[in-house]
Chains A and B, each alone.
Chain A
Amino acid sequence: MKRRELLFIFALLAALVLVPLLASNLLINFLVTALIVALAAQGWNILGGLGGQISFGHAAFFGTGAYVTELLQLRFGVNAWLAALVGIGVAAALGWTIGAAVFRARLRGSYFALVTLAFAEVLRILANALEFTGGATGLLLKLQPGAAQFQFESRAVFAWIAIAVVGVVLLLTRHIANSRFGAQLVAVRENEDAARALGVDIIATKLRAITLSAAITASAGVLYVQYFLYLDAQIGYGTWISIEALLAAIIGGVGTVAGPVIGALALHALGELTKGFAGSITGIDLVIFGLLLVAAVAFAPAGIVGAWKRYVGGRRNA
């Protein structure tokens, strides 16, 4: 089973790597957007899926990664790659700080979810109001294709970078899921009191998870800003990315290794496919998209990965 999971990860990555070689820019652009959401969802999954700490405000980390990366380049002339690393680091530190404040206050469940949402909103309002962050006008990175600027003439190169980051996070998630830390996270998720009784340091475990989760989600923000080259408070800290990250993980399979990636790809593919139904009624594609989503949640509550496992398990037992 374990080896099969690793094989699946490599097969998925190999398939993704081939896409930019064969596909048009239209498909590559779709892939990059879906992978950015997949990364944010992978980040959410570490804390929400493995650790059971449901966050509604992962935009806080996505936006911080994106803003720090862009601000360092624009205001201080820092190299784009270095800025990206610092962006991820600052978001991880923010994750730790939020975690330290919230977990020490013993907030969990819906209280934790609401507090994370509030943090993201505060950051959105600040980014929207402050001159330094470009205010509501946002920040524009100059279009300067070149490896040193972390911008590429070819969309394929960017897609490969996104695939590489997603691949690293997939392997990291698998490693965590099979490690002592992963077991502690699951223990915290299932029953905090029981975990504490077994000697698990609850706060330290949660803090490690939120820090890692923030760093991964921030890398999605970094990729977003280097790809679209434009950022405003609504894009960085808006609820859209928190919802997309959550939705992708839920549709793919919460707490599974590949679930968020599969969920993000499936959601975005569905969104693109339903566009074909647009016809004469404006927005009908979104209605179909919504109905399919409801059906997916109703018939596959454990997500795509969960449904697949149930199907394979059922066939084996038959």
Chain B
Amino acid sequence: MTIINQEIIRMSTNITLPAVSRRTLLGATAATATLGMPAILRAQPAPVKLGILQPITGALAQDGDLGRFGAVTAIEEINAAGGIKSLGGAKIEMVFGDARSNPEAGTQEVERMQAEGVCAIVGGFASPICLAASQAAARYNLAYVVDVGAADAIVTRGLTNTFRFGPGIGIVTKTALANLVALNDAAGKPAKTVVLVHEDGAFGSGLAKLMQTELPKLGFEILETIPHPTPARDMTNVALRIRSLNPDLLIPSSYYGEFVLLARTMQQQHIRPKGIYSVLNGAASNFRFVKEFPEAAQGVMDCNHWADPRKPNTAMLRKKADEAGKAWAYNIPLNYSCVRLAADAIERAGSVDREKIVAALTASNFAGHCMPYGATKFEGGQNQGAQPVNLQVQGNDIKVIFPAAFAEAKAVFPFKG
């Protein structure tokens, strides 16, 4: 700038302008350009590319769409607030990949994201997709933040690039059982017999196995365990079997479509146990179910991921989801939080260097999310504070009934529908 100023002063004081040769003028122009460039670069730092992997087609499309919405909302918010400050306000650019509800497509999308230069990947949703995609990312030491995938193998393989923000099956089952006992005891132990219904994939079968071991120890009698495939087009046989067994409690672990089918069939057949206590159920904590089938949904309890209603960004996020016409489900706050967690790691790493981002995630102490977990603390890739909550459909709302610290309503159990 000084050269330009001198030129201007010289030009303005020298009326006849004899010294301004073409060479001087060119030199001044070049100097302006050279000096001006860093300022322009500072104003527009290169965007930080973040991979978002979700299954938006295939059997898991609904979950993937909600997950993508949560991730996009977080990215928009971060960018509107000035981007990654330690990188000069660099904006986050989403590189989206459709995992097509299968692990091969998920792996192929990780390869594409790697080719496009992402610095971290968030998402996956289903356990098989998370397992394959995080392994593919590990080849490039690319940090991978798992949003939902509950299979415990995701974080027990020793991959240093993989971080799970939410709870795994082990912790969810432990919490679900503790809360079930508390609930039953408080109501005078009305539930003694149980029927387990589960999808026959990794998550449903894993949960059913744990339940089969643990429930008898807690004084519950398991009358039968009924597996079903995903997708299943008809649940009549399952419903009729439940009627003939007449359990006090039904514990289903299925994806959205199958549980909706089961709940509707049970309603049509007037099958009403004392309680439906689902674990990580795709429908029992989804407002679409409550809105479309309010009668079938009444009283259904679920132990699942859920946003902390006390946190300010939860209300904001829910408002945005309502405005966008998206059903409020855990995928939205989980992915929103995971993206913010990844952005926080990039912020603290002050770089898009992969090792630094992995190190920043390992040492992460992030509290700016909207889940009821406290600040993040990763051990072996698992966020130690991650825990599910208990919910119940009451009226046209889904209320938190456990833990007591932020319960919005008291549990209605036994439920008389």
Residues of chain A having any CB pair with chain B under 8 Å: 24-26, 29-30, 33, 128, 135-138, 140, 142-143, 153, 228-230, 232, 234-235, 240, 272, 275, 278, 282-283, 286
A137 to B107, CA, bound (A): 18
Q: Are B128 and A235 in contact (CB under 8 A)?
A: yes
Q: Are A140 and B157 in contact (CB under 8 A)?
A: yes
Q: Are B115 and A25 in contact (CB under 8 A)?
A: yes
Query: Contacts A128-B200, A143-B135, A282-B65 hold; do A30 and B205 have CB atoms under 8 A apart?
Result: no
Query: Of B32-40, B75-83, B96-104, which binds chain A?
Result: B96-104
B-side contacts of A128, CB under 8 Å? 200, 205
A29 to B112, CA, bound (A): 9
Grouping DSSP codes into helix (H, G, I), strand (E, B) and loop, the A interface class, with mixed when no group exceeds half, is helix
A136 to B128, CA, bound (A): 10
**Residues 205-220 of B at the A interface (beta carbon under 8 Å):** 205-206, 209
Q: Are A24 and B57 in contact (CB under 8 A)?
A: no
Q: Are A229 and B201 in contact (CB under 8 A)?
A: no
Q: Are B202 and A230 in contact (CB under 8 A)?
A: no
Q: Are A232 and B202 in contact (CB under 8 A)?
A: yes
Query: Contacts A24-B115, A143-B159, A228-B132 hold; do A137 and B57 have CB atoms under 8 A apart?
Result: no
> Which one of B157, B202, B204, B206 contacts A142 once the chains associate, using CB atoms below 8 Å?
B157
B-side contacts of A232, CB under 8 Å? 128, 201-202
Tell me the smallest distance from the CB of B137 to a CB of chain A, in Å. Answer: 11
A-side contacts of B355, CB under 8 Å? none
With an 8 Å Cβ cutoff, the count of chain B residues facing the other chain is 32
Query: Contacts A140-B153, A282-B56 hold; do A26 and B131 have CB atoms under 8 A apart?
Result: no
**Residues 101-145 of B at the A interface (beta carbon under 8 Å):** 102-104, 107-108, 111-112, 114-115, 128, 131-132, 135, 138-139
> Which one of B107, B158, B204 contacts A228 once the chains associate, using CB atoms below 8 Å?
B107
Task: Count A-B pairs with CB separation below 8 Å.
Answer: 76
A-side contacts of B128, CB under 8 Å? 138, 230, 232, 234-235
Q: Is B61 an interface residue (CB 8 A)?
A: yes
Query: Contacts A25-B114, A26-B112, A137-B151 hold; do A230 and B103 have CB atoms under 8 A apart?
Result: yes
A140 to B206, CA, bound (A): 15
A278 to B104, CA, bound (A): 18
> Which one of A26, A137, A142, A272 contacts B115 once the chains associate, using CB atoms below 8 Å?
A26
Minimum-distance CB pairs A-B, first 3: A136-B205, A26-B115, A29-B111
Tell me the smallest distance from the CB of A106 to a CB of chain B, in Å. Answer: 32
Tell me the smallest distance from the CB of B246 to a CB of chain A, in Å. Answer: 26
Q: Are B209 and A234 in contact (CB under 8 A)?
A: no
A-side contacts of B107, CB under 8 Å? 29, 228
B-side contacts of A29, CB under 8 Å? 107-108, 111
Tell me the smallest distance from the CB of A277 to a CB of chain B, in Å. Answer: 12
Query: Contacts A138-B128, A283-B56 hold; do A228 and B202 have CB atoms under 8 A apart?
Result: no
Q: Which residue in chain A gives the minimum CB-CB distance to B204?
A: A136
**Residues 138-194 of B at the A interface (beta carbon under 8 Å):** 138-139, 151, 153, 157-159
B-side contacts of A30, CB under 8 Å? 108, 111
Tell me the smallest distance from the CB of A158 to a CB of chain B, in Å. Answer: 11
Q: Are B157 and A283 in contact (CB under 8 A)?
A: no
> Which one of A26, A234, A283 contacts B61 once the chains associate, using CB atoms below 8 Å?
A283
A128 to B228, CA, bound (A): 12
Residue contacts A-B, CB under 8 angstroms, 19 given: A26-B111, A33-B108, A135-B205, A136-B201, A136-B206, A142-B157, A143-B157, A143-B159, A153-B139, A228-B104, A228-B132, A230-B131, A230-B132, A232-B201, A234-B201, A235-B128, A278-B98, A283-B56, A283-B61
Tell me the smallest distance from the CB of A272 to a CB of chain B, in Å. Answer: 8
